[in-house]
Amino acid sequence: MKYKTIRGTRDILPAEISQWQDAENAARELFKRYGYSEIRTPVMEETGLFIKSVGEDTDIVKKEMFSFRDRGERDISLRPEGTAPIVRAYLENNLVNLNPFQKLYYIGPMFRAERPQAGRLRQFHQVGIEAIGSNSPALDAEVIIVMAGLLDSFGVKNYTMKLNNLGCADDKKKLSKSLKELFSKKEVASLLCDDCKRRAATNPLRVLDCKIESCKVVVRKYFKEVEFLCADCKKHFDDVLKFLDLVKIKYAVDPYIVRGLDYYTRTVFEASCGSLGAQNAVGAGGRYDNLISDMGGPVTGACGFAVGIDRALIAAGKVPGETGGAKVDVFVAPLGEEAYKKAFLVLADLRASGISCDIDYESRSLKSQMRSADKLKARFVLIIGDDEIKKGEAALRNMQTKEQVCVSFDKLAAAINGKIE
Ligand code: HAM
């Protein structure tokens, strides 16, 4: 019997790993420029953390978490997202006492039991930031600017940054109440999809971003009439837009962006890419001003985003490399048993001097060793035969120019380092 990856999970193979490493390195470099520090939290958390933060009535918590009871009868879930664990870590580790304003970033796998399709996985990877401890609209703008910078550095083009203002908790309640009334009208309710019929009572805001066409039609026809934002929330959002205009970030205000997580307040945003098809959100985020206090911390604002790396690489048109695998500076090709021993020593010396090199483990002919060198895209081949050992030197061949020179064993590392710098 052959084992296979679990549905909705995938291997990231050597041929594509450099794209992931490049993306992660670009993210780290960008976040450093904005003053963010990395945080790593466990992939498992108490299930209650997500019920409390993401929300009991959300699709993520209701249908998509990988939850189980462990041997100690504890309810545990694989993390479906990174914000709640980071807020938990911020409070549990008293980061608030070190500095109440914290800028944190994370890169790692998340888990959601969604129906797998192109760009939608059960284990996917997010890179994100959470800035905790400020209510300033300049922070919302900066978080959006960082996300735009990240998408740029990944090579994602042609995306639309959509923004909306959900208002504070009171505004959301007001909106929720009017939507409940609206969706309970017979003529409106009858047009909603089955999911939205249920949402209309439990989480009516989610109806606003339902992807089903008939629901979109209902929302666009009736929703305009609802006015729910307080003056402070209106001003906050206007200020966010002013900051974005200052640095010429392109965006579109879209009143139907509500996001699938309950903790959001005020600014929410989503970057979507037409080329991705149905799963078109490459990244998203927003402000969550009540989450810290709801979880037992101080009353303080926070804002963040997460970009899906799997999706961003698809959106950037990245395809696995042709050959992939390791690339080495030098391929050492010994001819014969004595030469192999010498080559083994040379290999250790070169590696200790910082030169990447490899050898053929099967002691094959020079011709097949040259083929291996080509496969590894070696820049130099170092040929060691009995003659060379007698003379105390090796033949160093430049694979591009085909030029070959003899170099004494004790000068090899210096000679190669001089050529590859
Ligand atoms: P989210 O919108 O649920 O937000 O996820 C953010 C991004 O993760 C999505 O835009 C998408 O690129 C990627 N993603 C989500 N689900 C999948 C999936 N099943 N397969 C592949 N990619 C996926 C959050 O998770 C929030 N925690 C973002 C945030 C941070 N808000 C504030 N701070």
pLDDT at 17 over 60: yes
The residue contributing the CA closest to ligand 1 atom 11 is 308
Dihedral sign of CA atoms 223, 224, 230, 234 in order: positive
Q: Which atom of ligand 1 is nearest to the CA of 271?
A: 10
Taking the model in full, what pTM does it have? 0.93
* Comma-separated ranges of CATH 3.40.50.800 domains in the chain: 330-420
Please check whether the domain covering 14-168+230-315 is classified as CATH 3.40.50.300. no
CA of 273 relative to ligand 1 center, distance in Å: 14
Distance CA 222, CA 233 (A): 23
- Write the DSSP string, 332-373: EEE-SHHHHHHHHHHHHHHHHTT--EEE-TT---HHHHHHHH
The residue type at 43:
V
For residues 250 and 160, what is the distance between their CA atoms, to the nearest angstrom?
Answer: 8
The long-range contacts involving 194-201, CB below 8 angstroms and separated by at least 24 positions, are 199/57
Contact 12, 20 (CB under 8 A): yes
CATH 3.30.930.10 segments of the chain: 14-168+230-315
Average pLDDT over residues 301-317: 96
Answer whether residue 69 shows pLDDT above 80.
Answer: yes
Q: How many residues does the chain have?
A: 421
pLDDT digits (tens, 9 = 90+) for 172-231: 999 999 888 888 888 888 888 988 988 888 888 888 888 888 888 888 888 776 689 999
Residue identified by tokens 């200020």 is 239
Ligand 1 probe mutation, 107, 126, 134, 292, most atoms within 8 A of CB? 126
pLDDT, tens digit, for every residue of 30-54? 999 999 999 999 999 999 999 999 9
Ligand 1 pocket at CB < 6 A: 81-83, 112, 114, 120-121, 124, 126, 128, 130, 260-261, 281-286, 304-306, 308, 310-311
The pLDDT, as a whole number, for residue 325 is: 55
| pLDDT higher than threshold 80 for residue 365 | yes
pLDDT value of position 132: 98
Residues 6 or more apart in contact with residue 219 via CB below 8 angstroms: 207, 208, 210, 256
What pLDDT is attached to residue 297?
A: 95
Atom number, ligand 1, closest to the C-alpha of residue 312: 12
E strand or H helix that includes residue 242: helix 231-246
CA torsion, ordered 98, 99, 105, 110, to nearest 10 deg:
60
> Which atom of ligand 1 is the closest one to the Cα of 285?
31
Which atom of ligand 1 has the smallest separation from the CA of 84?
27
Write out the two tokens for 72: 């100690």
Residue ID of nearest Cα to ligand 1 atom 18:
120
Fold of 330-420: Rossmann fold (3.40.50)
Centre of ligand 1 from the C-alpha of residue 232, in Å: 28
Q: Report the pLDDT value the prediction gives residue 213, as an integer from 0 to 100.
A: 85
* Per-residue pLDDT at 225: 61
In this predicted structure, what is the pLDDT of residue 220?
84
Q: How confident is the model at residue 247 (pLDDT cuts 50, 70, 90)?
A: very high
Q: What is the pLDDT of residue 326?
A: 60
Tell me the CA–centroid distance for residue 127 and ligand 1, in Å.
Answer: 9
CA of 347 to the centre of ligand 1 (A): 45
**Is the pLDDT assigned to residue 156 strictly greater than 90?**
yes
Task: Give residue 67 CA to ligand 1 midpoint distance, Å.
Answer: 18
Dist. CA 144–CA 418, nearest whole Å: 45
Using CA atoms of 32, 83, 289, 311 in order, give the dihedral in degrees to the nearest 10.
80
pLDDT band at 328; cut points 50, 70, 90:
very high
Report the percentage of the chain scoring pLDDT > 70. Answer: 98
